[in-house]
Structure 1
Amino acid sequence: MGNRVIKKKGFKVVTISPTASINKYKELLGHSEIGFIFTLMGANINKLLLDVLEQSNIPFGIWLTEDPFYVDKSLEIMNDKKIFFTIDLGAYNFYQTKGYKNVFYLPLGTNPTIFKKKEVNSSYRSDILFLGYPYPSRVNLAKLILDNTNYQLTLVGKGWYKQIPKRWRRLKQLLIIDEWIPPNLASSYYNGAKLIINEHRVINFAYNKNSIKIENKSINNRTFDISACGAFQLVDYKEDLYSQYNEDEIVHYINPSDCLDKIHYFINEDNLRKIIGDKAQHRVIANHTLDSRLSIIIDIMRKHTIL
């Protein structure tokens, strides 16, 4: 994944672990043929390593993959020496107000070799699926569904079991997979669900590092992963949603009540869900893969640095 794009752009890639020794990095940086350095570590990169990479004077790009929820940490490494890519439009707008000209808006993409249509067995099937961390807004939606429907609900992600009241944990309609799962299994659950709820993380979550309270305005990469599987999702509305999709390719909701109404409607519309899911898949494969993002990154690094 990515090598074809890199070769087409005239580069080859050398990868190195973020846990490698500083001396290993210095040895690698001594090679004059290095065109640029790029990391997806975002603001989590080791400070000592960051200093070494900056001092090398090799063009350096960083993808801020936790914006805006860790924007406090992003600001700690922000300067005019590097090229920054942020995944969120709200964070991008904020950086622009601060005068940064070396920040570009670029959402994450999906890997279609992992997230793709496939047949799955009954253990992955559900009427409604939540997959991811049980943020309070997701938990409240799950409770609303359990309280108002008899649909088969699957909750996947570490922490869900404790969030569901005891009176519901043994319901036949409920399955809780209380563990983190790898991407290939996430793909299987997406393929097995009639309807996936994609509720975004909220700005006031206790463990965020977003003291400025920048609102997230972009969709998460899970949106693209689900679409790459040709699966149907209901996603809470974000300002940038219809910059990434056409309106007939994805369905949004504006509040829990609207979400519940749309669940009731779409759960029985098998053909309509398939049509929308297929359109979303075509959109994502055409525009929102990691390969397409990598191509943009290389073009921007070339244009705004001397390569």
Structure 2
Amino acid sequence: SPDEMCTFDIALIGYPYPNRIKAIDTLLKQNKWRILVAGKEWHRHLNKSRRHYRDFTLITNWLSPQQMADIYQQTAIVLNPHRPSQFVYNKNKAMIQNMSLNNRAFDIAATGSFQLTDLHPPPTFSSFAFYKDEDDLIKQVDYYGSNAGERKAAALNNYEQAVRWNTFDTMPQRLYEIVKSAL
């Protein structure tokens, strides 16, 4: 999206996991971006004073895939933190760490939108931008927020990589290689 068409500087759609709440709270404290957060339960997890921040939009109702795509395309930076392995409601007794991008990463990439995630992406998706902690999140948002050219180039690479790896033409061969490697 051209900068002048971006309704939001930052958007996050999804459940309010603790790391997502911390990221949004960190960004709201900066008081310098137009932020949209969408998902059930967010209203219960954000400080009341933050919910009344002038440039903050909170959507708590269900969004259709088209509405989500529209939000992604109207946003300069889509934030995509992953569910933490130690989240209390996970059924992850072995505490297996996230090592791959979530399905939302591909949804965001398919819309041609720029995303910032908390996982270092695999080499196949080398153009996905990521942050290490809250201080780095602020630095990355500042950087990509003021470098539209790099943001657009990364979004285009994300789109091309996601489409190249997830089409009916490439999927059968990839599935074959996965099964073959497991034998």
Query: C-alpha distance in 1, partners of 2:168/2:22?
Result: 32
Pairs within 5 Å for 1:1-307: 125-238=7-120, 241-246=121-126, 249-289=127-167, 292-293=170-171, 296-297=174-175, 299=176
Q: Structure 1's 171 and 281: CA in aligned 2 closer, same or farther, altered over 3 A? A: same
- Asked whether the 8 Å contact 2:43–2:60 carries over to 1, the reply is yes
Gaps of 5+ in 1: 1-117
Quick one: structure 1 residues 160 and 303, their matched pair in 2 at CA, closer, same or farther if it must change by over 3 Å? Answer: same
Cα separation, 1, equivalents of 2:179 and 2:157: 33
**Secondary structure in structure 1 of the residue aligned to 2:67:** helix
Name the one with the larger helix percent. Answer: 2
Aligned mates of 2:180, 2:122 — CA distance in 1: 28
Instruction: State the alpha-carbon separation in 2 of the partners of residues 160 and 283 from structure 1.
Output: 32
1:141 and 1:215 map into 2 onto residues whose CA distance is 19
Gapped regions of structure 2 (runs ≥ 5): none
Alpha-carbon RMSD: 2.4
Q: Deviation of residue 140 (structure 1)?
A: 0.6
Give the C-alpha shift of residue 271 in structure 1: 1.6
TM-score (normalised: structure 2): 0.87
SS state of the match for residue 218, structure 1? Answer: coil
Q: Is the 2:82–2:119 contact (alpha carbons within 8 Å) kept by the matching residues of 1?
A: no
The structure number with the bigger radius of gyration is 1
Secondary structure at the aligned position of 1:129 is classed as strand
Asked if 2 retains the 8 angstrom alpha-carbon contact of 1:198 and 1:233, the reply is yes
What is the rounded CA distance, in whole Å, between the counterparts of 2:23 and 2:58 in structure 1?
Answer: 15
**Secondary structure at the counterpart of residue 146 of structure 2:** coil
Query: CA distance change for structure 1 residues 168 and 290 in 2, over 3 Å: closer, same or farther?
Result: farther
Instruction: Note if contact 1:224-1:288 (Cα within 8 Å) is conserved in structure 2.
Output: no
> Normalising to structure 1: TM-score of the pair?
0.54
Q: Report the CA distance shift for 1:271/1:146 in structure 2 as closer, same or farther (over 3 A).
A: same
Shift of 1:295: 5.8
Instruction: Determine what percentage of the aligned residue pairs are the same residue.
Output: 27
Question: How many equivalent residue pairs?
Answer: 179
SS of residue in 1 equivalent to 2:79: strand
CA 1:270/1:301 → structure 2, altered by over 3 Å: closer, same or farther?
A: closer
User: Alpha-carbon deviations, 1:266-300, whole Å to 9, x = none?
Assistant: 11111221111111111111113477446644x47
